[in-house]
Structure 1
Amino acid sequence: MRGQVTSLRRSNWGHPSWHYYIAGFRLLAPLLGATFPAPRFDDFSEIGVPMLFLDCEDVDTALRSLAAAAGVDEATLRAVLLACDPDRIDWAEDEDPWVAVPRALFAELDVDIGDVSFDGAYYFHGTCVLRPHAFLQGGILPLGTILDRLWDDLYGLCDGQVTPAQWRALRQDLEGETGSTLRAEDGAWLYRLKFASEFHHGPYASLVRDHALDPIDGQHDYLKSPEIIEDIARCLGLGLQARFEARARSCIVKFRHSEVNRHTVEAALLFVLARIHGRPIGLSSVCGVDCRGAVPAAAVMYVDEIDIAGRGGQVPVQLYRHQAPGCASSEPLCSRSTDLVDSDSSTTGASP
């Protein structure tokens, strides 16, 4: 099968408009919970056997983990990718290039992409919360679990503009059948869409850290503000959005998860291919996970606080890393994590 990459030639393989539908499938597929097995959060740290995780924290960790899973030397895989001209890759008329290209690249190494397997993957949950460190204590919780706490936190930002009774009434108007004009707001409809169904509770995360850090056009910027916060603030006013953004801290939570499949491997390889050639990453490497329930604290590797102020195309600055003791963040295949003892253990910073 050698030579397959260079024997297929068509330019602009990364830009057909129907790729948006494929990217949409990659993002929505994990949401179809009935068609997938329940997610597993095994205690990898006590198995005593080295576990192989796909790690797209950066191009080097992604390349290293892909090479390990393929059973090839890292330098060899890099050489194959460098020899591939992204503008001169072609595919069959009826084939998705985001499937054909990764398969052909592994074929150059005499590797069947179906044999490239992992025990799990690291994912990156982008959000903006008041207590970033709490992810190491309480994990990442779905929307339904944190909604009451979220309302309490927002009320704490009101600076006495409304009484507790008025605040409860505003929430009831937003969620219930009170006949309030508040229900007619666009944000109210979006809020009810999310809170009324576990289908939308997540939590969600990105396979590629760079996509969580600096989302491409058309994707929500979760480091700026969670969507549910924007929905509530848009309806209630009170300067809540500005108050929240002034107090909350943008962060990325890295955690391990058992869900990994062929689409995950394809997206990871296309991410590495783009980065190695100095290209901007796009929809071809967009891949995420819907955890469909709480991510336990033991699965969280670290929480990075990020400064996104005035990023304007610049790489956001990492301000601080809250890290699980016993896990070296520089080790891409690390599977160790322990509980963090903290005086504020009653709180969680989790968000969908």
Structure 2
Amino acid sequence: MTTAAPPASTAQPRAAWSAADLARDTSWCIRLEPAETADMLRAVQTAQVPGKPLLAYARSDFAFSGATLARIRRGFDEAQHGLGVALLKGLPREGLSPEAFELLTWGVGLHFGVARPQDKQSRYMNKVMNVGTVYRSAGGRGYSSNAELDFHVDGSDLVLLSCYNQAPVGGDSLCSSAITALLRLREERPDLAAALFQPLHYSRQSEQAESQSPVMVLPVYGERDGRLFCFWNRNRVEQAQKLPGVPALTAEQREATALLDDILRRPEVMYRMRLEPGDLQIMSNHTALHSRTEFEDDADPARKRTLYRLWIATPDGPALPPLWADFYGATESGTVRGGIHGHAYDEHCVAFDARQARDMGMRFDPGQRP
């Protein structure tokens, strides 16, 4: 089936950037003042209770100052409503254990949205560290491998990635504008653009709940209210092709997605950054795609590359295209949506989601799962 692709959106012009744009205008890179770094250190040290589960913490436990929250808000606004990417520099790192730094990341998230579970174990925070996972496998996830990753989006409005340790070799963060990539593709091969607005099958990587299908169906691009949205993860599409009953990709779909991947990695489109300890990257999963280079770890286990990843549903996220419901569940703005509920989503998860939704003024339906 071939359908005409919607026209390119003009509703989010800052989100259509090039690598040169990010290099020239560095307003998306926000450095905390020393007093704000000290404020965050004090707040997490005051809040931390040994052995207390993350889901038991509330936003009120992290008493960041108004100045600190305003600085962080600049990053969230840039990622949500501007370029689609922001980098906060200067989070306290020295003097914090990995567990305390993880908790600090969690505390930041509690002030700006509702965290979403990310995997089969229904974990709300993932440690991004190589534990030997095979990325290209039926249950493969990139965050637990050292492999170079395909360009992809994650399963929430925003993804936060905080850096505790960086690898001595590799592990650079890569990002590209999904809107710029589509505009380039339209210029070069307008005959292929429509294929990216047709539904594709994505594997759930064996992480689905019992009531869910092993696949989800949605296009690479969609549109709502004049805004473009992207959902792309080649690894999940290729794994879905191995499942029974999934239709084979058409020649047009394969050509279109191959060209998209090529454009995303072009030097003029792709921006490369190297996260340093104390950095917090914030990225939109609707208008930006991200990747990572392969890396080699430090021989000292205490210095292994260690980052913390948090998925956030935000109170001011845009309304999503209707077809996004197959992954996100809810698509309206102001709702708790997205995430991978997995196999351990229990009453503790429901209680956290409900309490945090109340704190953020968001709607939460415990019976509505993606």
Using the size of structure 2 for normalisation, the TM-score is: 0.23
Identify the structure with the greater strand proportion.
2
Using the size of structure 1 for normalisation, the TM-score is: 0.23
| Structure showing greater Rg | 1
